[in-house]
């Protein structure tokens, strides 16, 4: 059984847009009241999925056993290989089972999905079975990431030396230049809180190996997510509070309060432009009994 | 006004108690619903022998909204395809392609909320004394222990909680506010035929129907009195 863990994950962005807001013309998400930047939980989950898909399903089928990703992006698809699922001993042709058997079958189906798909085992999923028992709650829960200080989004006007259609070219009389816009955050350090629940992990079969893969994803997922809009995104710190008691040994809020991020004194008043401008303070004094701090990086 | 045996303070940065009539582009109620409050209590402690009853909700911060639009998927995982894949008869790989089934959905969510939930539990099964359940809940709440992380409507909005001892602090919210008709809770009733069921009990596998109950929510000096969930059938929830 995996332990209960509450974690603080820090990542930063340099000259990029970590998460565009579809409501604001793809500007970086900002809390309108505080000016702090936001990155949604689903944005981070997407990156975890893509990372796992890339490392597990890229090369060989054998390795991918049980590490398929259900909610996928077409862009990173690599599925020349045929399917080789380890099927349960259920005859799928005998579909007409009813009542109790049907419920049993649905449960098996859900279990099978958990066994085969890393993202369902980790984050959960809702399946369309007749009655509502195809719902899987995953053990890992992300909150919304927020930047440590207010961010300033910069708008850049960019040009391209080509046009898409003939008509555009005619209109410009051969000038063939169009303008576009892109938004970046010069620098932003983001903090997100996460929770890992041992009870739900046991239910979905999320194990030690999955957990290690998840940590690896947090450490490396930005490396495989480079694009013109993202700029340079990097993981900066992962601080895990591990509980010996599955119910928890201390309130998560108290533990999270032990992680403070401050500006370095000499740089007070200047805009932050790198992770070096901050210091991460973890108060390890008088830890509640049963809590250990593990700084993964 | 007496005080319920159990009071828990909960707070968080964001919350979304979705109104059922605006669930596509989610719009939160002004305050937490009794149903969501029950969910939070159950996240800390629940046994099939007890049923939570939320009696009063204290609101400590005026409702403030913000907007969050996200790319979401439009469909659920297909059980039929999963079955085919298990059998090896599915042609294409089993997956859901997010760029093909994409929906952009806005959510109007609450921010910076703080409540105290006053509640008690009813025993459905008298094999254990109520004090046992009470003490187990109290111990957990005092230590910050929970079965799973409680959340404010949606799982991406986790909340913190603490046990409240003694008198309930007064809210600074003055005056009366009519919050309108609000979801009280779902009532789950066992049915004989599985085809009539809306859901099944997660514990017994028993088929159940689910019916929504509403109440007229009035906030006075920051306090909402939650009327008893008038139950025709004391089948309890799953």
pLDDT single digits (tens) B47-104: 989 999 999 999 999 999 999 999 888 888 888 888 888 877 777 778 888 888 888 9
d(CA B85, CA A118): 16
Identify the band that residue A90 occupies on the pLDDT scale cut at 50, 70 and 90: very low
Residue B231 lies in a domain: no
How much is the pLDDT for A163?
78
* Sign of the dihedral defined by the CA atoms of residues A62, A67, A72, A76, in that order: negative
Identify the band that residue A88 occupies on the pLDDT scale cut at 50, 70 and 90: very low
Q: For chain A, say whether B207 makes contact (Cβ under 8 Å).
A: yes
B207: closest chain A residue by CA: A131
How much is the pLDDT for B224?
96
- The CA–CA distances, whole Å, from A171 to A158, A164, A168, A179, B80 equal 20, 12, 5, 14, 52
Higher pLDDT, A280 or B72: A280
Q: Strand pairing partners for A68?
A: A117
Residue A173 lies in a domain: no
How much is the pLDDT for B166?
93
Kindly state the tokens that stand for A45. Answer: 């989950």
- Number of domains observed in the structure of chain B: 1
d(CA A112, CA A107): 9
Residue B88 lies in a domain: yes
**Closest Cα in chain B, distance from residue A67 (Å):** 12
How much is the pLDDT for B142?
95
Residue B108 lies in a domain: yes
Average pLDDT over residues A131-147: 86
Q: Is the pLDDT of residue B109 over 60?
A: yes
**Closest Cα in chain B, distance from residue A172 (Å):** 34
Tens of pLDDT along B125-161? Answer: 888 899 999 999 999 999 999 999 999 999 999 999 9
What helix, strand, coil percent values describe chain A, rounded to 5? 30, 30, 40
Residue B68 lies in a domain: yes
How much is the pLDDT for A175?
73
Host domain of residue A109: 5-151+183-295
Tens of pLDDT along B164-177? Answer: 999 999 999 999 99
d(CA A269, CA B26): 39
**Closest Cα in chain B, distance from residue A189 (Å):** 19
Higher pLDDT, B199 or B110: B110
Nearest to B99 by CA among A78, A73, A50, A46: A73
Parallel, antiparallel or unpaired: strands B6-15 and A291-295: unpaired
Q: Judge whether A10 and A222 are in contact, CB under 8 Å.
A: no
φ/ψ of residue B113, rounded to 5: -110, 155
Parallel, antiparallel or unpaired: strands A291-295 and A140-142: unpaired
Q: Which residues of chain B make contact with A291, given a CB cutoff of 8 A?
A: none
**CB nearest to A142's CB, from B89, B99, B156:** B156
- Cα A23 from chain centroid? 21
**CB nearest to B86's CB, from A46, A88, A100:** A88
Nearest to B81 by CA among A52, A56, A103, A113: A113
| Residue whose entry in the numeric block shows the structure tokens 């690599």 | A78
Residue A160 lies in a domain: no
d(CA A17, CA A169): 31
N residues, chain B:
238
Q: Is the pLDDT of residue A177 over 50?
A: yes
Residue A66 lies in a domain: yes
Q: Which residues of chain A make contact with B205, given a CB cutoff of 8 A?
A: 100, 103, 133
How much is the pLDDT for A261?
96
Residue A119 lies in a domain: yes
How much is the pLDDT for A131?
59
d(CA A237, CA A260): 12
Q: Is the pLDDT of residue A80 over 50?
A: no
Residue A175 lies in a domain: no
Query: Could A106 and B83 be called an inter-chain contact, meaning their C-beta atoms sit closer than 8 Å?
Result: no
Residue A157 lies in a domain: no
The proportion of chain A whose per-residue pLDDT surpasses 90, expressed as a percent, equals: 62
Host domain of residue B11: 6-225
> Which residues, in sequence order, are CB contacts of A44 under 8 Å at separation 6+?
A142, A145, A192
d(CA A206, CA A192): 22
The proportion of chain B whose per-residue pLDDT surpasses 70, expressed as a percent, equals: 95
Average pLDDT over residues A104-118: 85
A88: closest chain B residue by CA: B86
- The ipTM value here is 0.82
- CATH (domain of B200): 3.30.70.2660
Q: Which residues of chain B make contact with A192, given a CB cutoff of 8 A?
A: none
Q: Which residues of chain B make contact with A106, given a CB cutoff of 8 A?
A: 79
Instruction: Look at A71-80, A82-91, A115-124, A166-175 and tell me which has the smallest mean pLDDT.
Output: A82-91
Q: Output the average pLDDT for chain B.
A: 89
B66, B79, B109, B198, best to mutate vs chain A, most A CBs in 10 Å: B79
DSSP A72-96: E-GGG----SPP-----S--TT-TT
Q: Is the pLDDT of residue A116 over 70?
A: yes
φ/ψ of residue B73, rounded to 5: -90, 150
Query: Could B93 and A199 be called an inter-chain contact, meaning their C-beta atoms sit closer than 8 Å?
Result: no
- Number of domains observed in the structure of chain A: 1
* Sign of the dihedral defined by the CA atoms of residues A11, A17, A18, A24, in that order: positive
Q: Judge whether B228 and B53 are in contact, CB under 8 Å.
A: yes
Q: How many CB pairs under 8 A join A and B?
A: 168
| Residue whose entry in the numeric block shows the structure tokens 């007496």 | B2
How much is the pLDDT for A64?
65
Q: Output the average pLDDT for chain A.
A: 86
């Amino acid at each position: 059984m995996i332990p209960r863990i509450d974690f603080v994950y820090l990542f930063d962005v340099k000259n990029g847009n970590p998460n565009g807001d579809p409501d604001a013309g793809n500007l970086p998400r900002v809390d309108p009241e505080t000016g702090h930047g936001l990155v949604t939980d689903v944005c981070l989950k997407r990156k975890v999925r893509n990372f796992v898909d890339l490392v597990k399903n890229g090369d060989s089928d054998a390795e991918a056993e049980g590490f398929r990703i259900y909610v996928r992006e077409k862009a990173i698809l690599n599925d020349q290989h045929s399917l080789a699922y380890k099927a349960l001993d259920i005859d799928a042709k005998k579909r007409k089972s009813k009542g109790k058997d049907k419920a049993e079958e649905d449960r098996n189906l859900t279990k099978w999905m958990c066994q085969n798909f890393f993202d369902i085992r980790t984050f959960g999923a809702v399946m369309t079975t007749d009655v509502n028992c195809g719902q899987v709650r995953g053990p890992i829960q992300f909150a919304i990431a927020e930047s440590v200080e207010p961010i300033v989004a910069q708008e850049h006007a960019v040009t391209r030396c080509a046009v898409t259609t003939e008509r555009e070219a005619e209109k410009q009389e051969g000038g063939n230049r169009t303008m576009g816009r892109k938004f970046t955050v010069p620098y932003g350090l983001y903090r997100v809180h996460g929770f890992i629940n041992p009870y739900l992990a046991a239910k979905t079969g999320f194990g030690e190996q999955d957990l290690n893969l998840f940590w690896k994803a947090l450490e490396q997922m930005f490396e495989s997510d480079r694009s013109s809009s993202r700029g340079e995104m990097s993981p900066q710190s992962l601080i895990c509070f591990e509980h010996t008691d599955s119910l928890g040994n201390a309130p998560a809020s108290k533990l999270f309060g032990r992680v403070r991020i401050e500006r370095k004194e000499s740089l007070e008043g200047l805009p932050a432009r790198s992770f070096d401008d901050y210091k991460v303070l973890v108060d390890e004094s008088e830890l509640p009994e049963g809590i250990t701090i593990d700084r993964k990086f | 006004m007496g005080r319920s045996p159990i009071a828990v303070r909960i707070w968080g940065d964001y919350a979304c108690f979705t109104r059922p009539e605006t669930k596509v582009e989610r719009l939160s109620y002004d305050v937490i619903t009794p149903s969501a409050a029950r969910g939070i209590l159950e996240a800390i402690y629940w046994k099939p022998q007890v049923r939570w009853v939320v009696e009063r909700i204290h609101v400590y911060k005026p409702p403030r909204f913000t907007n969050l639009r996200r790319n979401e998927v439009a469909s659920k995982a297909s059980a039929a395809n999963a079955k085919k894949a298990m059998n090896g008869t599915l042609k294409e790989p089993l997956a859901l392609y997010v760029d093909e089934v994409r929906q952009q959905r806005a959510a109007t969510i609450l921010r910076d909320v703080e409540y105290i939930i006053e509640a008690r539990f009813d025993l459905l099964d008298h094999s254990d004394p109520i004090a046992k359940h009470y003490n187990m809940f109290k111990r957990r709440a005092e230590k910050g222990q929970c079965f799973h992380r409680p959340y404010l409507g949606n799982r991406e909005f986790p909340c913190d909680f603490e046990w409240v001892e003694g008198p309930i602090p007064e809210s600074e919210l003055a005056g009366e506010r009519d919050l309108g008709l609000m979801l009280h809770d779902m009532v789950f009733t066992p049915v004989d035929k599985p085809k009539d069921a809306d859901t099944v009990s997660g514990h017994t596998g028993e088929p159940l129907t689910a019916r929504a109950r509403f109440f007229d929510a009035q906030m006075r000096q920051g306090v909402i009195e939650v009327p008893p969930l008038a139950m025709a059938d004391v089948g309890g929830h799953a």
